[in-house]
């Protein structure tokens, strides 16, 4: 250490900083092949090449420009041609560079040599990997049990490539984590507006008034970045007002014009009282409601007659006068007003109905599809069917593989698989209506206790996959996890790890990922995937700018080491497995496959790659799509039946005032405020009709375990930070530098009551839920953890919260804040290095820092909401004790 350096350290003066700023002197003697990612110097923009692609760091998928110099991706910027992001990006975009060049990235196929989970690996060739996989997979097809191959993904943006493979293989088990994420909020949308509209696109750039229940688009939200820059512009430049109900001072709450703390699980009560107020004040849009809602206004009035603002205040803690005022302001701003809600309202036992109440508000004031209002633009954007007339179709070019047969009794059903199911399950399914029998594929894909999870489309109930495997509801021979962090991030992640450790339950686990995490650590084989900067993907999503567009993820560099893309892996596997599978994989390379995928675009392939985005900006915005007249072509061969326009047996429009208009893509082409499906589902699974989830009309019902909550009990909730993406980003060095801990945030008064100060350690113990759910009503503590306390005045006094990204024990030196690299040497490349990651980061305990946080997900109970199966992340009742030792 030089004198000067020592002086610098002494000046700063603490043990922590002595550790933090101790010099790193790494030898400059590096071979030219070795690239040190903290010694590259500045980018020279006159030499670097800019290529558009699509970000992969969260669910938004913004169009970006990657700058490459000397074969290395050095910088990510926004693509101004992207009509959704409008050239904006967030910090996570740079994370793509962090993970692509992470020195502990897995770049070679690995086979475990020790016991499962022991961390001993050897490098194998792709040939060996394919041979072994083929030897395991081929017999499953040959023996007529393809369903014993279970594919489970965390994030799949291949737009159908993985489904193409599982269909060609013949397994219905392409599992996801929809329930972990958003099924409770998607169900109300699909019930109201139809399958095409499982996600809304509020016209935020033109709005005047937004009421937000627990949505956090300024930090983490599907579409959040697209929303944030529009809404901030509307607020700052045009004076739009944002009102937020939240339990913590999220960035969205903090930037809101009004932020009201609310008791968790009572969002529906506030929405109900707003409906009550709007009706009482006569501010409803009677004309719109009577034209488009399927529920008489008089009945709605009766339904909400007890939802007074005073009642809602008692339930939610939000002042009656505020609720009344907000309701009136909202209705008076119509149609340039909209609701917004996400997990805050939806991830509760009553969340599905809470969101139905919130959605009712937009219909009531008639802002649906209006400028500045609650707009709907097809989720599948480019490839969608509704409102996208005149756009070229972009089908995946490979010969389509048919879906597997549904499981059941009779012709066209897979009886063999069905009869292996527990008798109780068979009986339940036999009692289902025909439309559900045709969609039933066993308990992992379509759990029979949660029919609404797959009524609209296959949303899955991911958190039950492992308990169900444990209960032997489904035999698994080959389990393939893809970009999945279940053993870290799922509720009761310890159950996931138990199942993955059990070689009887999971005889073979192959994990496909870019790095070494808690999930891959429990695999038998790891296949290295090319990152988002090294591969192609088809991109389309719904546009908050309300005009469809499409984009292309394209490789900026070749896959490093021996990593491969999913289409490459699937092509090779399909050809080796054979038996007809190979006929569905005809392309020789990725680029020609993607080129053909886009062949109907009215732009050359080279020009599309140069722009990265294609949109016909001359099209009108997707306002009031439901009022658009059906075209002459659309009206061909149709018949009108009870004012519905039917084509080939399917409703395609509705007669309004003697005109054939499109209506909404629901079976009755109107908005279903009333929907019998909830009661049908309840009856089918034996949920008492007294449970609010069974209600045909939007209703407020209590979270069972929150009723008469004892004074010494609190609600434990989780949240996401803006710099992280689930449990995937713990090793992105610049994100981890900002957020590496997850303290227990609480209100200072809560701390006072508990006798704790900031920095004190507490033990937080969680109880199981009490409703009709997995292990509902089971007594005793289900899990606990210890962590330190931080105070924030914006916390609800009955709520304590930790973020869920950190506390890794894998993910290498940054993710785990270990003292040395933790990923298997056999998988790493010697050419990738980052001299500042040769030792633990400044926040590591080893260097006098605060450490890398606490893993909390073992203490979160598996808690699927009745019927729909969405994980009720935010209901957890807990007790908190000060740790004295």
Partner 1 sequence: MDDFTLMPWEKVGPQFKKSYKRAGMLVDLDSCIGCHSCSVSCKTENDVPLGNFRMRVRYLEQPTSASISFAPLLCMHCVDAPCLKACPSKAIKKGADGRILINESKCDLDEECVKACPYGAISINEDKGVAEKCDFCEHRTDVGLAPSCVDNCPTDALIFGDLDDPESRISKLAAKRKAKPWKPEAETNPSVLYVSHDKWMEKKVNTGVQLDPADEDVTYEQNNLKK
Q: Find the binder of partner 1 among 140, 253, 682, 754 (CB under 8 A).
A: 253
Least Cβ distance, residue 759 to partner 1 (angstroms): 3
Binding of partner 1 by 881 (CB under 8 A): no
Residues 633-672 that bind partner 1 (CB under 8 A): none
The set of residues, in sequence order, having a beta carbon less than 8 Å from that of 687 and lying 6+ positions away, is 681, 693, 694, 772, 866, 867
Q: Kindly tell me which of 409 and 792 has the beta carbon lying closer to partner 1.
A: 792
Binding of partner 1 by 371 (CB under 8 A): no
Q: Find the binder of partner 1 among 137, 225, 363, 799 (CB under 8 A).
A: 225
Taking residue 470's Cβ as centre, other Cβ atoms within 10 Å add up to 14
Helix (H, G, I), strand (E, B) or coil at 515: coil
Q: Kindly tell me which of 176 and 750 has the beta carbon lying closer to partner 1.
A: 750
CA 232-235-238 angle, to 5 degrees, is 125
Q: Beta strands of 35-139 (E only): which ranges? A: 35-36, 49-54, 63-69, 72-78, 110-112, 121-123
Alpha-carbon distance 127 to 116, whole Å?
22
Least Cβ distance, residue 438 to partner 1 (angstroms): 42
Taking residue 557's Cβ as centre, other Cβ atoms within 10 Å add up to 17
Alpha-carbon distance 463 to 665, whole Å?
30
Residues constituting the chain: 885
Helix (H, G, I), strand (E, B) or coil at 12: helix
The set of residues, in sequence order, having a beta carbon less than 8 Å from that of 355 and lying 6+ positions away, is 184, 185, 187, 188, 189, 268, 341, 345, 346
Least Cβ distance, residue 797 to partner 1 (angstroms): 11
Residues 729-758 that bind partner 1 (CB under 8 A): 733-735, 737-741, 743, 757-758
Tokens of 434: 């025909």
Binding of partner 1 by 761 (CB under 8 A): no
Mask for 522-561, x = binds partner 1 (CB under 8 A): ----------------------------------------
Least Cβ distance, residue 754 to partner 1 (angstroms): 16
Stretch that binds partner 1, among 330-338, 397-405, 611-619, 875-883 (CB under 8 A): 611-619
Alpha-carbon distance 734 to 314, whole Å?
44
Q: Kindly tell me which of 8 and 116 has the beta carbon lying closer to partner 1.
A: 8
Query: 696 burial class (0-12, 13-18, 19+ CB within 10 angstroms)?
Result: middle
Q: Is the dihedral of CA 392, 394, 400, 404 positive or negative?
A: negative
Residues 288-347 that bind partner 1 (CB under 8 A): none
Q: Kindly tell me which of 630 and 856 has the beta carbon lying closer to partner 1.
A: 856
Taking residue 38's Cβ as centre, other Cβ atoms within 10 Å add up to 13
Q: Find the binder of partner 1 among 34, 781, 792, 883 (CB under 8 A).
A: 792
CA distances (Å), origin 663, targets 386, 408, 530, 628 = 10, 35, 43, 8
Q: Kindly tell me which of 31 and 618 has the beta carbon lying closer to partner 1.
A: 618
Least Cβ distance, residue 33 to partner 1 (angstroms): 20
Residues 820-879 that bind partner 1 (CB under 8 A): 835-836, 841-843, 848-850
Mask for 565-604, x = binds partner 1 (CB under 8 A): ----------------------------------------
Least Cβ distance, residue 843 to partner 1 (angstroms): 7
Binding of partner 1 by 65 (CB under 8 A): yes
Q: Find the binder of partner 1 among 18, 72, 91, 413 (CB under 8 A).
A: 91
Q: What strands, in cross-sheet order, belong to the sheet with 110-112?
A: 121-123, 110-112, 525-528, 509-513, 478-482, 149-153, 174-175
Query: 236 burial class (0-12, 13-18, 19+ CB within 10 angstroms)?
Result: exposed
Stretch that binds partner 1, among 15-23, 128-136, 409-417, 671-679 (CB under 8 A): 15-23
Least Cβ distance, residue 284 to partner 1 (angstroms): 32
Q: Kindly tell me which of 233 and 280 has the beta carbon lying closer to partner 1.
A: 233
Q: Find the binder of partner 1 among 94, 162, 201, 638 (CB under 8 A).
A: 94
Q: Under a CB-based contact definition with an 8 Å cutoff, are residues 574 and 582 in contact?
A: yes
Residues 614-633 that bind partner 1 (CB under 8 A): 614-617
Least Cβ distance, residue 617 to partner 1 (angstroms): 5
Least Cβ distance, residue 636 to partner 1 (angstroms): 32
Tokens of 291: 């034209």
Dihedral-angle region of residue 456 (phi above 0 means left; psi in -120 to 50 means alpha; beta otherwise)? alpha
Stretch that binds partner 1, among 116-124, 230-238, 428-436, 647-655 (CB under 8 A): 230-238
Residues 27-46 that bind partner 1 (CB under 8 A): 38-46
Q: Find the binder of partner 1 among 78, 214, 344, 451 (CB under 8 A).
A: 78
Residue with tokens 């040497």: 825
Strands 761-767 and 877-882, bridge-based pairing: antiparallel
Least Cβ distance, residue 344 to partner 1 (angstroms): 16
Binding of partner 1 by 391 (CB under 8 A): no
Binding of partner 1 by 229 (CB under 8 A): yes
Binding of partner 1 by 805 (CB under 8 A): no
Q: Kindly tell me which of 8 and 475 has the beta carbon lying closer to partner 1.
A: 8
Nearest to 854 by CA among 742, 727, 735: 742
Tokens of 125: 């060739």
Q: Kindly tell me which of 72 and 458 has the beta carbon lying closer to partner 1.
A: 72
Q: Count of residues binding partner 1 (CB under 8 A)?
A: 95
Q: Under a CB-based contact definition with an 8 Å cutoff, are residues 463 and 484 in contact?
A: no
Residues 137-196 that bind partner 1 (CB under 8 A): none
Alpha-carbon distance 492 to 520, whole Å?
18
Least Cβ distance, residue 516 to partner 1 (angstroms): 21
Helix (H, G, I), strand (E, B) or coil at 715: strand
Residue with tokens 């084989």: 525
Angle between helices 566-577 and 590-597 (to 10 degrees): 100
Tokens of 194: 């139809």
Stretch that binds partner 1, among 74-82, 328-336, 428-436, 711-719 (CB under 8 A): 74-82
Stretch that binds partner 1, among 78-86, 461-469, 482-490, 778-786 (CB under 8 A): 78-86
SS (H, E, C) 157-172: CCCCHHHHHHHHHCCC
Q: Find the binder of partner 1 among 97, 337, 465, 782 (CB under 8 A).
A: 97
Q: Kindly tell me which of 259 and 674 has the beta carbon lying closer to partner 1.
A: 259
Rg for the chain, CA atoms, rounded: 27
Stretch that binds partner 1, among 135-143, 221-229, 384-392, 467-475 (CB under 8 A): 221-229
Q: Find the binder of partner 1 among 198, 203, 205, 219 (CB under 8 A).
A: 219
Alpha-carbon distance 251 to 856, whole Å?
22
CA distances (Å), origin 638, targets 233, 388, 664 = 45, 20, 17
Q: Find the binder of partner 1 among 2, 29, 31, 690 (CB under 8 A).
A: 2
Least Cβ distance, residue 884 to partner 1 (angstroms): 15
Residues 255-294 that bind partner 1 (CB under 8 A): 255, 259, 261
Binding of partner 1 by 120 (CB under 8 A): no
Least Cβ distance, residue 646 to partner 1 (angstroms): 37
Least Cβ distance, residue 590 to partner 1 (angstroms): 24
């Amino acid at each position: 250490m030089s004198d000067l350096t020592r002086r610098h350290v002494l000046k700063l003066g603490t043990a922590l900083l002595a550790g933090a700023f101790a010099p790193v002197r790494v030898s400059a003697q590096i071979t030219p092949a070795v690239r040190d990612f903290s010694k590259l110097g500045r980018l020279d923009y006159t030499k670097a090449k800019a290529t558009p692609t699509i970000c992969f760091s969260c669910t938004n998928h913004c169009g970006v420009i990657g700058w490459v110099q000397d074969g290395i991706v050095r910088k990510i910027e926004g693509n101004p041609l992207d009509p959704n992001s409008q050239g904006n990006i967030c910090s996570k975009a740079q994370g793509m560079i962090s993970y692509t060049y992470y020195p502990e990235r897995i770049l070679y196929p690995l086979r475990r040599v020790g016991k499962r989970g022991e961390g001993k690996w050897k490098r194998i060739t792709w040939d060996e990997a394919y041979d072994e996989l083929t030897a395991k997979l081929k017999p499953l097809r040959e023996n007529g049990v393809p369903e014993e191959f279970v594919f489970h993904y965390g994030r799949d943006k291949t737009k159908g490539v993985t489904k193409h493979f599982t269909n060609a293989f013949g397994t219905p088990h392409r599992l996801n984590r929809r329930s972990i994420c958003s099924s409770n909020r998607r169900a109300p949308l699909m019930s109201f507006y139809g399958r095409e509209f499982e996600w809304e696109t509020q016209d935020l750039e033109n709005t005047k008034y937004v009421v937000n229940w627990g949505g956090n688009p300024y930090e983490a939200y599907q579409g959040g970045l697209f929303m944030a820059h529009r809404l901030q512009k509307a607020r700052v430049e045009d004076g739009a007002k944002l009102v937020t109900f939240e339990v913590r001072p999220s960035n969205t709450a903090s930037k809101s014009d009004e932020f009201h703390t609310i008791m968790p699980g009572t969002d529906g009560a506030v929405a109900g009282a707003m409906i009550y107020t709007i009706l009482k004040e006569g501010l409803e849009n009677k004309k719109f409601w009577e034209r488009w809602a399927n529920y008489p206004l008089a009945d709605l009035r009766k339904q909400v007659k007890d939802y007074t603002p005073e009642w809602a205040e008692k339930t939610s803690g939000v002042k009656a006068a505020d609720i009344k005022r907000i309701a009136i302001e909202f209705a008076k701003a119509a149609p340039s007003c909209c609701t917004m809600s996400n997990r805050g309202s939806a991830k509760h036992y009553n969340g599905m109905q809470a969101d139905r109440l919130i959605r009712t508000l937009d219909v009531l004031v008639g802002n649906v599809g209006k400028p500045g209002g609650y707009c709907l633009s097809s989720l599948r954007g480019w490839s969608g069917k509704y409102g996208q007339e005149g756009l070229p179709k972009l089908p995946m070019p490979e010969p389509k593989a048919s879906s597997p047969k549904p499981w059941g009794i009779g012709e066209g059903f897979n009886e063999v698989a069905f009869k292996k199911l527990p008798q109780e399950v068979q009986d339940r399914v036999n009692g289902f209506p025909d439309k559900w029998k045709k969609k039933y594929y066993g308990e992992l894909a379509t759990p029979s206790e949660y029919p609404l999870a797959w009524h609209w489309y296959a949303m899955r109930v991911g958190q039950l996959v492992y308990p169900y495997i444990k209960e032997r509801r489904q035999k698994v021979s080959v389990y393939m996890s893809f970009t999945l962090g279940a053993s870290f991030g799922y509720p009761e992640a310890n159950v996931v790890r138990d199942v993955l450790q059990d070689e009887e339950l999971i005889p073979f686990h192959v994990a496909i990922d870019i790095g070494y995490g808690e999930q891959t650590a429990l695999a038998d084989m790891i296949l290295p995937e090319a990152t988002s900067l090294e591969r192609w993907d088809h991109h389309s999503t719904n546009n908050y700018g309300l005009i469809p567009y499409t984009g292309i993820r394209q490789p900026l560099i070749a896959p490093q080491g021996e990593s491969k893309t999913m289409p490459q892996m699937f092509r090779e596997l399909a050809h080796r497995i054979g038996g007809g599978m190979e006929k569905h994989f005809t392309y020789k390379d990725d680029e020609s496959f993607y080129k053909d995928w886009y062949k109907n675009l009215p732009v050359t392939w080279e020009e599309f790659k140069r722009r990265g985005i294609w949109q016909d900006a001359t099209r009108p915005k997707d306002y009031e799509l439901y009022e658009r007249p059906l075209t002459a072509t659309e009206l061909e061969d149709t018949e009108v039946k009870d004012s519905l326009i039917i084509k080939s047996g399917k409703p395609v429009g509705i007669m309004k005032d003697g005109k054939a208009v499109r209506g909404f893509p629901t079976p009755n082409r109107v908005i279903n405020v009333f929907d019998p499906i909830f009661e049908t589902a309840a009856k089918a699974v034996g949920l008492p009709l007294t449970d609010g989830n069974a209600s045909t009309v939007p209703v407020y019902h209590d979270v069972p375990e929150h009723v008469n909550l004892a004074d010494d009990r609190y609600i434990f909730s989780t949240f996401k930070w803006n710099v992280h993406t689930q449990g995937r980003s713990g090793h992105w060095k610049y994100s981890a530098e900002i957020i590496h801990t997850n303290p227990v945030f609480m209100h200072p008064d809560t701390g006072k009551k508990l006798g704790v100060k900031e920095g004190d350690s507490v033990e937080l113990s969680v109880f199981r839920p009490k409703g009709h759910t997995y292990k509902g009503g089971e007594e005793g503590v289900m899990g606990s953890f210890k962590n330190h306390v931080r105070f924030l005045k914006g916390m609800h006094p009955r709520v304590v919260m930790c973020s869920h990204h950190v506390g890794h024990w894998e993910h290498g030196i940054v993710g785990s804040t270990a003292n040395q690299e933790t990923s298997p040497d056999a998988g790493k490349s010697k050419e990738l290095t980052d001299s500042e990651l040769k030792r633990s980061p400044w926040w590591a305990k080893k260097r006098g820092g605060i450490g890398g946080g606490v893993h909390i997900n073992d203490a979160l109970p598996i808690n699927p909401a009745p019927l729909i199966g969405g994980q009720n992340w935010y209901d957890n009742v807990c007790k908190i004790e000060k740790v004295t030792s």
